[in-house]
């Protein structure tokens, strides 16, 4: 590539299309910028729309507002440092790539294709500033992990240092710098009821800007990650899921959501599309409300109506949980209730962690869920909660490493839901029902004939139905256990009992309740609240399932 006659070597700066005769446009001393935009005057400011977890053109506040200001450069920065973090994985990137390809097509249809750069966001934006002179940045607010939070702070500092305006706009029910959770649910409803952002009718084409290649997983340093059952990404797939859920698959949702097989069919499966922003929360909420109105108008009772009502509640939960991480980013890294500090070792038993991660704990339903998750990138809520609870209570592992493992396995990894849920299912929030799932009971409840277990643990094919969830109780267990399938790594009933005692000891400790009340005030759902002492009795522990209620319960 040839050198720009002006100050910079454009090839090195990587903003200009190779083999484009753009030098011819430049007179000596003229800014490179003039050559890129035939339709742009030198006074115009370039609007850089920085796409992050909002990979769509519809209902896109940043794109909509930027396009009203002037010519738009739609930009996605693939950040290798981000993608090499322990909560990121190639299955997530594969989904993102499919979304990016469709986004690129949609933007090209409007007039200006998506520009993709690989590297550090600040360096990329700085190169843009040097090339284009006057720029403004537009993006959506992001409630991400600690790394993206720190990166956004760096971008903010860079923008301030150069006098560049960075507009960060809201795209969901999460409210930045919120003072109190009072009235939050009403504000959520109001935001979702607002009309969708209008899509620009056209974007002026920026001449001679290299749109760049979408990097491969290898380019980003990601490890190979075989996930044959992964959901396909892209907005059209998201719209198909939304439609089929609201009109076909969703009827039995309320009951079917609990099982790993029925849930895979009858849950919406919208999570990765929402996580990467191929669909907006508002369009999903509004489509759900429209469906609810139509069902009511048609006089439909029960079934569909109940399922849509449950689903609508989950959409609230999504932002309710994300608001917690927005308000307290440390939820990703330390116990929400500090009374739990030191309870579990921060250096988890490597053998137990490995057995759990690869689905070899010897507890069939747990292992089948983990192997299904590894192969498909998705699991229903109840089974995610059980996997986390088994790790935290039965195996007594600190939640951080298992949380990272699950994050990598989820195509829909969303830090704002994930870390608060990880802590909630590990009992470290101090305000939630402590739910120690009994994995054998869950197996009997959710997989009564053992078909799911046999599907994912073929080595158990010969175990009779009556013993499939507790093969160690079968008199001929020795034919399989310790050979093709492990002996259980724990006695699950003893382990649950011991965990319960340790958790109770913390909860009874001095100052625990004061801390829990402060957490409830800051993060708790206003519908629940912590019961006063004696107001609500703790659930009687039994061997089937242990539950200790506190506020902010999740049904
Ligand atoms: C330990 C743990 C980690 C989790 N990590 C994630 C994650 O990284 N990303 C993620 O999207 N979900 C996460 N969840 C929540 C939930 O399990 C998934 O959202 C759900 O299973 C996705 O499937 P779906 O889209 O078919 O859900 P549906 O049941 O159809 O629900 C629709 C949408 O509502 C939201 N939602 C549903 N359940 C919950 C919930 N319990 N809390 C918050 N929002 C909810 C999601 O956006 C979901 O896509 C986690 C749950 C647990 C227990």
337 and 478 inside one domain: yes
Which protein residue has the closest C-alpha to ligand 1 atom 4? 418
**Nearest CA-CA partner of 262 in 468, 470, 466, 445:** 445
Q: Could you tell me if the CB of 499 is within 6 A of ligand 1?
A: no
**Nearest CA-CA partner of 411 in 99, 142, 148:** 99
Q: Could you tell me if the CB of 446 is within 6 A of ligand 1?
A: no
CATH number at residue 421: 1.10.579.10
In a domain, 436, yes or no: yes
Tokens of 372: 């299904």
The residue whose CB lies within 8 Å of the most ligand 1 atoms, and thus the one to mutate among 145, 406, 412, 414, is 412
487 vs 470: CA distance, rounded Å: 10
Q: How far is the CA of 192 from the centre of ligand 1 (A)?
A: 19
57 vs 234: CA distance, rounded Å: 12
Neighbours of 163 (CB within 10 A): 7
Q: What does the radius of gyration of the chain's CA atoms come to, in whole angstroms?
A: 26
pLDDT of residue 359: 98
398 and 528 inside one domain: yes
CATH number at residue 84: 3.40.50.620
Q: How far is the CA of 26 from the centre of ligand 1 (A)?
A: 53
Count of domains forming the chain: 3
Q: Which three-class secondary structure state does DSSP give residue 546?
A: strand
For the chain, residues with pLDDT lower than 50 are 1-14, 16-38, 529-555
Q: Which atom of ligand 1 is nearest to the CA of 384?
A: 53
Q: Which three-class secondary structure state does DSSP give residue 250?
A: coil
Q: Which atom of ligand 1 is nearest to the CA of 407?
A: 8
341 vs 289: CA distance, rounded Å: 43
Neighbours of 547 (CB within 10 A): 16
Residue 307 structural domain: 235-323
Is residue 397 within 8 A of residue 507, CB to CB? The reply is no
275 and 403 inside one domain: no
Phi-psi category of 177—alpha, beta or left, where left has phi over 0 and alpha has psi -120 to 50? left
DSSP string, 47-107: EEEEESS---STT-HHHHHHHHHS-EEEEEEE-HHHHTSTT--HHHHHHHHHHHHHHHHHH
pTM: 0.91
Q: Could you tell me if the CB of 266 is within 6 A of ligand 1?
A: no
pLDDT of residue 1: 28
Q: Of the residues 171, 198, 226, which one is the last residue of a structural domain? A: 171
Q: Could you tell me if the CB of 380 is within 6 A of ligand 1?
A: yes
Q: Of the residues 126, 147, 171, which one is the last residue of a structural domain? A: 171
339 and 301 inside one domain: no
315 and 341 inside one domain: no
266 and 372 inside one domain: no
Q: How far is the CA of 288 from the centre of ligand 1 (A)?
A: 17
Q: Could you tell me if the CB of 124 is within 6 A of ligand 1?
A: no
């Amino acid at each position: 590539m040839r050198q720009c006659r002006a100050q910079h070597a454009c090839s090195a700066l990587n903003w200009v299309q190779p083999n484009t005769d753009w030098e011819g446009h430049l007179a000596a001393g003229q800014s490179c910028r003039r050559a890129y935009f035939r339709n742009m005057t030198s006074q115009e400011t370039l609007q850089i729309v920085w796409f992050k977890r909002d990979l769509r053109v519809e209902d896109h506040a940043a794109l909509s507002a930027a396009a009203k200001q002037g010519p738009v450069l739609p930009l996605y920065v693939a950040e290798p440092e981000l993608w090499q973090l322990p909560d990121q994985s190639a299955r997530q990137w594969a989904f993102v790539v499919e979304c990016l390809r469709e986004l690129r097509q949609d933007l090209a249809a409007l007039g200006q294709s998506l520009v993709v750069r690989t590297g550090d966001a600040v360096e990329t934006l700085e190169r843009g500033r040097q090339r284009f002179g006057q720029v403004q940045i537009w993006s959506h607010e992001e409630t991400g992990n600690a790394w993206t939070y720190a990166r956004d702070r760096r971008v903010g500092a860079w923008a301030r240092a150069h006098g560049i305006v960075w507009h960060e706009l809201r795209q969901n029910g999460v409210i930045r710098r919120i003072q109190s959770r009072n009235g939050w649910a009403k504000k959520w409803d109001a935001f979702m009821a607002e009309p969708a952002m209008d899509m620009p009718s056209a974007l002026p084409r920026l001449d001679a800007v290299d749109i760049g290649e979408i990097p491969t997983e290898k380019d980003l340093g990601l490890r190979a990650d075989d996930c044959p059952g992964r959901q396909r990404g892209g907005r059209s797939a998201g719209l198909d899921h939304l439609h089929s859920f609201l009109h076909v698959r969703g009827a039995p949702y309320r009951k079917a959501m609990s099982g790993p097989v029925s849930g895979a069919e009858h849950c919406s499966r919208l999570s990765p599309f929402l996580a990467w922003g191929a669909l907006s929360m508002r369009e999903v909420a509004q489509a759900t409300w429209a469906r609810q109105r139509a069902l009511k108008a048609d006089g439909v009772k029960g079934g569909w109506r109940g399922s849509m009502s449950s689903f609508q509640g989950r959409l609230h939960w999504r932002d309710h949980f994300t608001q917690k991480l927005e308000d307290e980013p440390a939820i990703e890294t330390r116990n929400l209730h500090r009374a739990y500090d030191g309870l579990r070792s921060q250096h988890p038993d490597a053998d137990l962690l490995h057995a759990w991660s690869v689905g070899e704990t010897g507890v069939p339903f747990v292992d089948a869920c983990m192997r299904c998750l590894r192969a498909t990138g998705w699991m229903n809520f109840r089974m995610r909660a059980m996997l986390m609870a088994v790790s935290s209570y039965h195996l007594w592992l600190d939640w951080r490493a298992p949380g990272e493992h699950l994050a990598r396995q989820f195509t829909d990894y969303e830090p704002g839901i994930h870390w608060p849920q990880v802590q909630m299912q590990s009992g470290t929030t101090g305000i939630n029902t402590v739910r120690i799932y009994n994995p054998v009971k869950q197996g009997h409840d959710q997989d009564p004939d053992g078909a799911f277990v046999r599907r994912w643990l073929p080595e158990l094919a010969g175990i009779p139905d009556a013993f499939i969830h507790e093969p160690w109780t079968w008199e001929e267990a020795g034919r399989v256990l310790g050979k093709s399938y492990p002996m259980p790594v724990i006695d699950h009933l003893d382990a649950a009992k011991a965990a319960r005692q340790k958790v109770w000891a913390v909860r009874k400790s001095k100052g625990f309740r004061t801390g829990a009340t402060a957490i409830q005030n800051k993060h708790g759902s206003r519908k629940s609240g912590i019961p006063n002492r004696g107001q609500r009795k703790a659930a009687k522990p039994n061997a089937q399932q242990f539950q200790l209620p506190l506020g902010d319960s999740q049904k």
